[in-house]
């Protein structure tokens, strides 16, 4: 009996000793951040900036692996199936929160993954191709009402925040447009800039180059307040479209059962990266806000977003396509 007690005591000490070792030894090989959207969009830009910072902190290569499609389900499946050792992470957004509220999904972001940290918050901007004769959001609404069903708008995928923003805009204004989903806004820009899908609500960070070059016209931003990157662009409410306030976020998650010390280590380095003046100033200039939260804080945020978007979908009567 005493020998058995000694065995269990030694085993328990081994588990306790092994926990910090997980963190001390991590990472032992290159780390990848799976991004559920195509290159060229706002999430991709933020992920690459963070990957560089984490690579410097870890002394290992951190690569971005773009896996777009199926409302983030492809990237979620890859991440969920990866070894829970911290070497495979995923940059998430509001999309995996919204998708299960509209479609059957085996994934719950907070339940089936290990939240690490929210990294940023960013708004969207209502943009149109210059071929549309509208200089303001109210003029666009008038034009859309005069041409019901004639125009389409693009999004980064079905169930994405950009899709939801477009639906909320139509509910708030009594307009009707055809929704054209793409595998990320990087893929959508070709048709948007070409005028084939002339309306969208992309992230501010990804749209600024096109707006500055005159390829797209900005009419209003979706945060409650104006953003530093586009100070002359009004909010939706200021532009005469109340009730459309949307702020998206990006954050890191890992496969479920990833050891807690590793989660805490990645979270700590992520917070350091996002709090650095370089990242904070860069994101602010691009229409985003750097955020760094603990795993518990990020999990609570995900849960609050699930409740919020559930109410929005119900109130707006949004149905799966």
DSSP state of 26: -
CATH superfamily of 10-121+249-316: Bordetella uptake gene, domain 1 (3.40.190.150)
Residue 206 three-state SS: helix
Domain ranges in the chain are 10-121+249-316, 125-221
Please give the helix or strand (H or E) that residue 220 lies within, else none.
strand 217-221
Q: Kindly state the greatest CA–CA separation across the chain.
A: 86
Whether 125-221 and 10-121+249-316 are alike in CATH topology: the answer is: yes
CATH of 125-221, picked from 3.40.50.620, 3.90.1150.10, 3.40.190.10, 3.40.640.10, is 3.40.190.10
Q: Are 252 and 33 in contact (CB under 8 A)?
A: yes
DSSP symbol at 166: H
Q: Report the pLDDT value the prediction gives residue 321, as an integer from 0 to 100.
A: 62
Q: How far apart are CA 88 and CA 206, in angstroms?
A: 25
Put residue 7 in one of left, alpha, beta given phi > 0 → left and psi -120 to 50 → alpha: alpha
Q: Are 114 and 256 in contact (CB under 8 A)?
A: yes
Containing H/E element for 14? Answer: helix 2-25
pLDDT of res. 23: 63
- Per-residue pLDDT, 30: 97
Burial label, 297 (beta-carbon count in 10 A; 0-12, 13-18, 19+): middle
Alpha-carbon distance 181 to 173, whole Å?
21
Rounded to two decimals, the pTM is 0.78
Looking at residue 2, its pLDDT comes to 52
pLDDT in 10s for each residue of the chain, 321 residues: 555 455 444 445 454 444 455 567 899 999 999 999 888 878 898 999 999 999 999 999 999 999 998 878 999 999 999 999 999 999 999 989 998 898 888 899 989 999 999 999 988 999 999 999 999 999 999 999 999 889 999 998 877 889 889 988 998 999 999 999 998 888 899 999 999 999 999 988 889 999 999 999 999 999 999 998 899 999 999 999 998 999 889 999 999 999 999 999 999 999 999 999 999 998 888 778 999 999 999 999 999 999 888 888 887 777 776
CB 294, CB 267: distance < 8 Å: yes
Q: Which SS3 state, helix, strand or coil, does residue 232 take?
A: coil
**Residue 220 and residue 243 in contact, taking contact as beta carbons nearer than 8 Å:** no
The two three-digit tokens of residue 204, written as one number: 């501010």
CB atoms within 10 A of CB 209: 11
């Amino acid at each position: 009996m005493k020998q058995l007690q000694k065995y269990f005591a030694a085993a328990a000490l081994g588990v306790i000793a092994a926990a910090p070792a997980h963190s001390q030894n991590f990472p032992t090989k290159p780390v990848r951040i799976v991004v559920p959207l195509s290159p060229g969009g706002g999430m991709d830009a933020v992920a690459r900036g963070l990957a560089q910072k984490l690579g410097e902190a870890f002394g290992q290569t951190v690569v971005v692996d773009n896996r777009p499609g199926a409302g983030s389900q492809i990237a979620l499946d890859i991440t969920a199936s990866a070894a829970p050792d911290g070497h495979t992470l995923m940059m998430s957004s509001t999309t995996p929160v919204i998708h299960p509220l509209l479609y059957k999904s085996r994934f719950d972001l907070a339940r089936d993954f290990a939240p690490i940290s929210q990294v940023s918050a960013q708004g969207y901007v209502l943009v149109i191709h210059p071929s549309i004769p509208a200089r303001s959001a109210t003029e666009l609404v008038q034009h859309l009402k005069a041409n019901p069903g004639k125009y389409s708008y693009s999004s980064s995928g079905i169930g994405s925040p950009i899709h939801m923003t477009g639906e909320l805009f139509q509910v708030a204004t009594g307009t009707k447009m055809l929704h054209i989903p793409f595998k990320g806004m990087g893929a959508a820009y070709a048709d948007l800039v070409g005028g084939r899908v002339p309306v969208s609500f992309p992230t501010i960070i990804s749209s600024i180059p096109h707006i500055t070059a005159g390829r797209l016209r900005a009419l209003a931003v979706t945060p409650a307040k104006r953003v530093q990157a586009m100070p002359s662009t009004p909010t939706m409410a200021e532009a005469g479209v109340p009730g459309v306030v949307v702020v998206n976020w990006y954050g890191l998650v890992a496969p479920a059962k990833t050891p807690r010390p590793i989660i805490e280590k990645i979270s700590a380095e992520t917070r350091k990266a996002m709090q650095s003046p370089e990242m904070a100033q860069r994101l602010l200039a691009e229409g985003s806000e750097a955020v760094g939260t603990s795993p518990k804080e990020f999990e609570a945020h995900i849960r609050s977003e699930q409740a919020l978007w559930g109410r929005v979908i119900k109130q707006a009567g949004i149905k799966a396509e």
